Amino acid sequence: MDTIHITMPDGAIREVPLGTTAAEIAQQISPRLAKEALVARIAPIHGQAAAAASAAAGAAPEKSPDAAPEARLTSAANGEGFLVDLRAPIDQDVKLSILTPKDPEAIQVLRHSAAHLLAAAVLELFPNVKLGIGPPIDTGFFYDFVRDEPFTPEDLERIEKKMRELAAQDIPNERKMLPKPEALELYRKWEQGFKCELVEERAIEPMVSFYTTGRFIDFCRGPHIPSTGRIRAFKLMSVAGAYWKGQEGNPQMQRIYGACFYTQQELDEYLHRLEEAKRRDHRRLGQELDLFSVQEEAGPGLIFWHPKGGLVRKIMEDWLRDELLRRSYDLVYTPHIMRLELWKTSGHANFYRENMFGPVEVEKDDYQLKPMNCPGHILIYKSRLRSYRELPVRLAELGTVYRYERSGVLHGLLRVRGFTQDDAHIFCMPEQIEAEIEACIDFAFAVMKTFGFSQYVVELSDWDAKHPENYPGSPEDWAHSTSALERTLNRLGIPFKRMEGEGAFYGPKIDFKLIDAIGRPWQLTTVQFDFNLPGRFGLEYVGEDGNRHQPLMVHRALWGSVERFFGILIEHYAGAFPVWLAPVQAEVLPLSEKFAEYGKKVTSALKDAGFRAHLDDRNEKLQAKIRDAQLLKIPYMLIVGGKEAEAGTVSVRQQSKGDLGPRPLADFLSDLRKQVDSRAV
Ligand SMILES: [Zn+2]
Ligand SMILES: [Zn+2]
């Protein structure tokens, strides 16, 4: 009998009969492992990885990963090898890992199987639906269906109940191989036109793989968990419209979304985070706190900063401008509209055209609303010949740009059509670059600390070394700059993730993602090399050797944009800004009209000391005034009545902590001074 050799993660080698499955090996190791196992990863030992995987997984080579989200699973061969069913016979020497809930990769397989369970349940209840696709997503799964009537919330409840029934029956997810014509015939008879289309397009090999779960038969590469019993912690979340293959004009489908985790606890935590996110939604808070608006009359994606939002913005910008000057940046302003010709030189009119507003004709000349600040800064750099002595040149601008975003993707302050970048461009000599990167990173940390973020993730993105032809700059440029970024991060002891092939087309970059109060990552700071623009604009400096050289150019933004960062801050603080940022720092609340005079005095004292104070002199009950100030998330309420007027005190109430008791006004002022000056968060 033929045998094969299976190398386990600990290096142990097992000799087993040809065709042994991972499930059998798991059983040999321990019944407990067999019980926990969800899926296996194999890596053929004698090369030919692709062929072997194809044999083991029945995988057809992928044509377009976008068109086939389900395929992400098999290509998500994290590290090395491929994911396969536990029941897949192994036909050659391989390295084998048996994945359990401890392995992050396995959750996507569980979620994909949950999508199949959803389809199976829908088919039980609505046998005439037409099936689209159903991949796993970050927190669960979805499946697309065509059905004449819309799915109602009650339908979702019934479907979820049916899913629980089918899960309890522990139905196996069975894999079969069918010849392509038979597969087509099967779907044709079943009148599943979308599935026919998928088989036609994506089945490249003569035999195609299918998974069945009860009534549901899916043209699917898998892999899947062995049976439905392991799908326990899930919840159907919503129905949304979707186009077949995501293309407008294609048939409309109903997409049912579900959340899915290993344990009920993880699911509950996720649902709680969603609730929190809803509570913190900056669009709702923006309205409640009267910070900003988007006006239909003016157009979508364009932000109106109301007085209170505008005040927070001024404070943010003041901090930033002071820091820029302290860190030896020069502040500049550039026009919002410039000749289209300039955008041809920069290349934006070509590669960035889809994101730009259309040109405007003035005196037979085309002008372009700026989508970027870089060309403007380049023109300032180029306005005279630069000597090596004046490098680095660091030009910073709170530069307002306009970009075309489809109305469907616009989202409050986070995705807009007009926004102000905290942009800067650094022009320097190669030997200066590491110090500049380090200074950018230091600045990024100052932003984090000042605005109250303590956790972050850093990514270093490189080019796709297999396709140097897609990039400007020489391999040496890329290697030097990437290693400069890497060395700097290492020197500073900052852990980072390497993202091969994820760099901008014009250069490698470092991205900082800040983690907010409820654990969500937000892409903010970016530091990017540019090997494209200096050449296009013929940038130069006169070196120490008297010759002309091309400077290195770095784009960097810390907040990204003022609008987006403001939106993130609103959500991070749930609208309760720290006292140094709050539009109103203290609300003065006289106990009754009798004490309005003293209230006025206290308010003036606060204002004279440079604080943002407001007197609530409405003829309302104190409780109502407190409630309103509380709703406006004003950090301090100062309650003043007869006792306070007599003693020159204020009764302090803190938004987050409640009553703090009476304090001499002078003491409160000096405490507030300390908090504001230290930018306590
Ligand atoms: Zn599938
Ligand atoms: Zn730029």
Q: Can you tell me the distance from the alpha carbon of 258 to that of 303, in angstroms, rounded to the nearest whole number?
A: 33
Residue 299 pLDDT more than 90? yes
Contact between residue 562 and residue 316 where contact means Cβ atoms under 8 Å apart: yes
What pLDDT does residue 480 have? 86
- pLDDT, mean over the chain: 91
Residues 6+ apart with CB under 8 A from 508: 460, 461, 462, 463, 478, 481, 482, 485, 528, 529
Q: Can you tell me the distance from the alpha carbon of 322 to that of 309, in angstroms, rounded to the nearest whole number?
A: 20
What pLDDT does residue 81 have? 85
Specify whether 528 is catalytic: no
Specify whether 523 is catalytic: no
Token pair, residue 200, equals 């036609």
Q: How far is the CA of 535 from the centre of ligand 2 (A)?
A: 15
Report the DSSP beta bridge partners of residue 95: 7, 43
Beta-sheet strand order (sheet of 497-499):
330-331, 393-402, 418-428, 552-561, 521-530, 509-515, 455-461, 497-499
Q: Can you tell me the distance from the alpha carbon of 333 to that of 549, in angstroms, rounded to the nearest whole number?
A: 27
What pLDDT does residue 69 have? 37
Q: What is the DSSP string of 148-202?
A: SSPPPHHHHHHHHHHHHHHHHTT-B-EEEEEEHHHHHHHHHHTT-HHHHHHHHHH
Q: Can you tell me the distance from the alpha carbon of 366 to that of 338, in angstroms, rounded to the nearest whole number?
A: 9
Q: How far is the CA of 401 from the centre of ligand 2 (A)?
A: 11
Residue of 558, 290, 555 whose CA lies nearest to 425:
555
What pLDDT does residue 62 have? 35
Q: What are phi and psi of 121, to 5 degrees?
A: -65, -40
Catalytic residue chosen out of the listed positions 555, 564, 572, 625: 555
Q: Can you tell me the distance from the alpha carbon of 282 to that of 563, in angstroms, rounded to the nearest whole number?
A: 11
What pLDDT does residue 206 have? 83
Helices 665-677 & 596-608 angle (0-180, nearest 10): 40
What pLDDT does residue 495 have? 94
What number is the average pLDDT over the span 425-443? 95
Classify burial at 493, counting beta carbons within 10 Å of its beta carbon; exposed 0-12, middle 13-18, buried 19 or more.
exposed
Q: Can you tell me the distance from the alpha carbon of 83 to that of 104, in angstroms, rounded to the nearest whole number?
A: 12
Specify whether 116 is catalytic: no
What pLDDT does residue 60 have? 37
pLDDT bin (cut points 50, 70, 90) of residue 204 is: confident
Q: Which residue has the higher pLDDT, 215 or 165?
A: 165
Catalytic residue chosen out of the listed positions 425, 556, 614, 653: 425
Specify whether 421 is catalytic: yes
Q: Which residue has the higher pLDDT, 93 or 64?
A: 93
Residues 6+ apart with CB under 8 A from 38: 86, 99, 100, 101, 106, 109, 110, 225, 226, 230
Q: How far is the CA of 556 from the centre of ligand 2 (A)?
A: 7
Catalytic residue chosen out of the listed positions 368, 421, 585, 655: 421
Report the DSSP beta bridge partners of residue 130: 146
Q: How far is the CA of 373 from the centre of ligand 2 (A)?
A: 6
Q: How far is the CA of 113 from the centre of ligand 1 (A)?
A: 7
Q: What proportion of the chain, given as a percentage, has pLDDT over 70?
A: 95
Catalytic residue chosen out of the listed positions 370, 417, 509, 556: 509
Catalytic residue chosen out of the listed positions 196, 260, 374, 428: 374
Residues 6+ apart with CB under 8 A from 278: none
Amino acid at 105: E
What number is the average pLDDT over the span 612-629? 95
Q: How far is the CA of 218 from the centre of ligand 2 (A)?
A: 47
Q: Which residue has the higher pLDDT, 24 or 206?
A: 24
pLDDT digits (tens, 9 = 90+) for 358-412: 999 999 999 999 999 999 999 999 999 999 999 999 999 999 999 999 988 999 9
What pLDDT does residue 505 have? 81
pLDDT bin (cut points 50, 70, 90) of residue 1 is: low
Residue 47 pLDDT more than 70? no
pLDDT bin (cut points 50, 70, 90) of residue 474 is: confident
What number is the average pLDDT over the span 582-596? 95
Q: Which residue has the higher pLDDT, 677 or 72?
A: 677
Ligand nearest to the CA of 108: 1
Q: Which residue has the higher pLDDT, 402 or 472?
A: 402
Ligand nearest to the CA of 557: 2
Specify whether 192 is catalytic: no
Q: How far is the CA of 656 from the centre of ligand 1 (A)?
A: 49
Token pair, residue 640, equals 């003043």
What number is the average pLDDT over the span 461-484? 85
Ligand nearest to the CA of 507: 2
Q: What proportion of the chain, given as a percentage, has pLDDT over 90?
A: 82
Q: Beta-carbon neighbour count of residue 311 at 10 Å?
A: 17
Highest mean pLDDT pick, 108-112, 471-475, 503-507: 108-112
Q: How far is the CA of 94 from the centre of ligand 1 (A)?
A: 25
Catalytic residue chosen out of the listed positions 403, 417, 614, 633: 403
Ligand nearest to the CA of 526: 2
Ligand nearest to the CA of 555: 2
What number is the average pLDDT over the span 262-272? 95
Token pair, residue 74, equals 């098999």
